[in-house]
Structure 1
Amino acid sequence: MKIWELVRMALRTVISNPMRSILTMLGVIIGVGSVVALVAIGQGSTAKVSDEISGLGTNLLVVNIQNTGRATQLNYEELMQLEQFSEFNWVAPTISKGSSNVKYDRTKASYSVIGTNDRYGSMNKVTMASGRFIAEPDLEFRNNVVVLGSDVAKTFFGFLDPVGQEVNIDGVVFSVIGVMEQKGKNINNTSIDTTVIMPLTTAQRQFKLGSLRTTYVEAASKEDVATAEQTLKDYLYYKFKSDSGYEILNQNEMMKTQEAIAAQMSYMLAGIAAISLLVGGIGIMNIMLVTVSERTREIGIRKSIGAKRRNILFQFLVESIVLSGLGGLIGLLVGIGISYGIEYFNSSMPTQVSLWVSLAAFLFSVLVGVLFGLYPANKASKLRPIDALRFD
């Protein structure tokens, strides 16, 4: 008997008992759909993390000073001299005032204030919606100017352009020289959209912020990252006479670590979802055993008119494969639909449907049909015609 004829027979059997067929396929549908959807969520999260880290610059190093006191303070002029080394591109020391009271007209709100230099915008891939970013003369003359994050600008000015307006920060008046484009949250769940940026020298003078706690350093290229990191370690050890009290974060290492964690989570979720496929396989085996019992007389008649053992085995095996294959196909569509639905209704949770994972999940569902259909099919093929015809 030809394979297509066996498939048509199997499809007729599936269609003749639609409710039982759907319930039989349900485990496979849930399994395949779960694998596709969960892996899509995991890969979407991995891509989001990679984009966020890349948005900060893959050549970026971040120096954080952990200890307090004069013995662990960095000097701005010394840090800027690092740009003379070929392995460094830009250096942007920063100081943070934390939550500050910002006021314009009758509107008041609290936002974090960052004091930095003109390199900070380029290193953090900042684009301007209007106006300009901090420039070197602003630092030199300690100008009372600020650049607003998109959320800050919207709070005080709505859709109006605030460039040229004045805001009051903790009792000090500053002129707005620019507004940054919206950038969203990064991997640390912080956002430049809710910050006010001013020249570092201005922040030091107006708010008595003298301690540089964080410094962003961009290497000249990916190949120079390791050399730049070692130079920073040597400088900090020379400065503090110790290898503790500070840390250097490497964006490349952060990216690799985050991607590895996200990949492991994806594999774990896919493994958990694959258990549903095995459960679905058990359901298929159970219903196929019932089918063999119900169709015992049919098997006896077919054998008595010349059907061979392999014909009976293939008939029930193909029926099992068709059941699992249809379940896998429906599960594939359900999983893809869930994946795109999640991203549609929650844009902060991106998903990426993998063609290879989807194909593997479908093929695994077919394999489940083969493995769990083999025993019932083999049992049917071994029935003796005389016993099968006597079965009531």
Structure 2
Amino acid sequence: MKIMELVFMAMRTVLANPLRTILTMLGVIIGVGSVVTLVALGNGTSDQIAKQYENLGTNLLVVTANGNGRATQLDYSELMRFEQFPEFKTVAPTMSKPNSNIKYDRTQSTYSLIGTNDRYLEITKSKIAKGRFLSEADLEFRTNVVILGSEVSKKFFGLLDPVGEDVNIDGIVFTVIGLLEPKGSNITGTSVDSAVIVPLETARRQFKLGSIRTTYIEAPTKDDIYKAQTTMTQYLTYKFKSADNFTLTNQDELLTAKTAATDTLTNQLVAVACISLLVGGIGIMNIMLVTVSERTREIGIRKSIGAKRRNILFQFLVEATVISGMGGLIGLLLGIGFSIAWPHLYPAQTTKISLDISIYAFLFSAFVGVVFGLYPANKASKLRPIDALRFD
């Protein structure tokens, strides 16, 4: 008997009991659908993490001074000298003041204030929407100028141009010279959209912020960032006398670690989802054993008119494979559908369907049908015609 004839015969048998067939396929449907959806979510999350790191730059090194006092103070002029080394492209020291009180006209709110230099715009991959950013003159003369994030500007000025307006920051008047384009949060959860940026020395003098706590360093390439990390480690260890007094965060290492963690979690969830496929296979074996019992007389008649053992074996094996394959196909379509619909239901999350994993999941579902259908098919093929015909 040709394989296509066996497939059509199996399809007729399967469709003759649609409810039983659907219940049998349920484990396979859930298994394949879960694998496709979970992998799509995992891939989407990994891409989202990578994009967030790209927003801040993967060639970025963040230096944080731990503790208080002169022993852990970073010097601005010393930090800027590192730009003379080839492994250092840009250096942007910062000091911050959270919950700064901002007033304009009758509107009042609190935002994070950042004191930095003119390199901060480039190093955070931000862009100016209107006006300009800080200049060397602003830093040198400690001018009372401020750049507003998009959320801050919207809060106080709506859609109007804030450039040239005066705002009150903790009782001190600053002139708005620039507006940043919306950028969103980076991987650390911080965002320039809700920040107000002033010259470093102005922030130190006007708000008594003390010393530089955080410095952003950009290297020309990914390879250079590790050289820069080594150089900064040596410098800070010598300056602070202890490696416990500072923290160096390598964005490339963080990206690798985050991606690895996401991949591990996705693989674990996929492994759990695969259990549904095995449970579905057990269900297929169970229903095929029942089918063999129900069709014992049919098997006896077929054998008595010349059907060989392999014909019976292939008939029931193809039937089990068709059940699992149909379940896999339905699960595949449902998984793709959920993956496409998920970002619409939860806009904060993205998905990315993996064609390879989807195909492997479907093929594995068919393989499950072969494995778990083998025993019932073998049992049916071994029935003796005389015993099968006597079966009631």
- Residues 245-284 of structure 1 aligned to structure 2 (within 5 Å): 245-284=245-284
Q: For residue 98 of structure 1, what is the aligned residue in structure 2?
A: 98
Q: For residue 160 of structure 1, what is the aligned residue in structure 2?
A: 160
TM-score, normalised on structure 1? 0.98
Q: Which amino acid aligns with 2:11?
A: L
Q: For residue 45 of structure 1, what is the aligned residue in structure 2?
A: 45
The whole-number CA distance in structure 1 between the counterparts of 2:135 and 2:384 is: 92
SS in 1 for 2:361: helix
1:102-155 CA-to-partner distances (Å, cap 9, x unmatched) read 111111111111111111110111022222222222111112111111111111
1:319-358 CA-to-partner distances (Å, cap 9, x unmatched) read 1101111111110111111111111222211111111111
Q: For residue 299 of structure 2, what is the aligned residue in structure 1?
A: 299
The whole-number CA distance in structure 1 between the counterparts of 2:15 and 2:163 is: 69
1:190: how far off?
2.1
The whole-number CA distance in structure 2 between the counterparts of 1:292 and 1:192 is: 68
The whole-number CA distance in structure 2 between the counterparts of 1:380 and 1:179 is: 78
Q: For residue 212 of structure 2, what is the aligned residue in structure 1?
A: 212
Number of residues of Structure 1 aligned to a counterpart in Structure 2: 392
1:130-186 CA-to-partner distances (Å, cap 9, x unmatched) read 222222221111121111111111111222221222211111111112221222222
- Residues 127-276 of structure 1 aligned to structure 2 (within 5 Å): 127-276=127-276
- Larger displacement relative to structure 2 (348-357 or 233-242): 233-242
Q: Which amino acid aligns with 2:304?
A: S
Q: Which amino acid aligns with 2:119?
A: R
1:243: how far off?
2.2
1:225: how far off?
1.6
The whole-number CA distance in structure 1 between the counterparts of 2:289 and 2:279 is: 16
The whole-number CA distance in structure 2 between the counterparts of 1:292 and 1:66 is: 73
Q: For residue 123 of structure 1, what is the aligned residue in structure 2?
A: 123
Q: For residue 314 of structure 2, what is the aligned residue in structure 1?
A: 314
| RMSD across aligned positions (CA) | 1.1
The whole-number CA distance in structure 2 between the counterparts of 1:291 and 1:161 is: 76
Q: Which amino acid aligns with 1:49?
A: I
- Larger displacement relative to structure 2 (194-203 or 183-192): 183-192
1:271: how far off?
0.4
Percent identity (aligned): 64
1:361: how far off?
0.7
SS in 1 for 2:243: coil
- Larger displacement relative to structure 2 (166-175 or 309-318): 166-175
Q: For residue 59 of structure 1, what is the aligned residue in structure 2?
A: 59
Corresponding position: 1:381 with 2:381 = yes
SS in 2 for 1:186: coil
Q: For residue 360 of structure 1, what is the aligned residue in structure 2?
A: 360
1:24: how far off?
0.9
The whole-number CA distance in structure 1 between the counterparts of 2:157 and 2:388 is: 85
The whole-number CA distance in structure 2 between the counterparts of 1:208 and 1:196 is: 17
The whole-number CA distance in structure 2 between the counterparts of 1:27 and 1:327 is: 8
The whole-number CA distance in structure 2 between the counterparts of 1:10 and 1:163 is: 75
The whole-number CA distance in structure 2 between the counterparts of 1:306 and 1:8 is: 21
Q: For residue 15 of structure 2, what is the aligned residue in structure 1?
A: 15
TM-score, normalised on structure 2? 0.98
1:238: how far off?
2.2
Unmatched segments (≥5 aa) in structure 2? none
1:370: how far off?
0.7
The whole-number CA distance in structure 2 between the counterparts of 1:31 and 1:5 is: 29
Q: For residue 329 of structure 2, what is the aligned residue in structure 1?
A: 329
SS in 1 for 2:89: strand
Unmatched segments (≥5 aa) in structure 1? none
Q: Which amino acid aligns with 1:22?
A: I
Q: Which amino acid aligns with 2:352?
A: Q
1:276: how far off?
0.7
SS in 1 for 2:134: coil
The whole-number CA distance in structure 1 between the counterparts of 2:188 and 2:221 is: 24
The whole-number CA distance in structure 2 between the counterparts of 1:337 and 1:34 is: 11
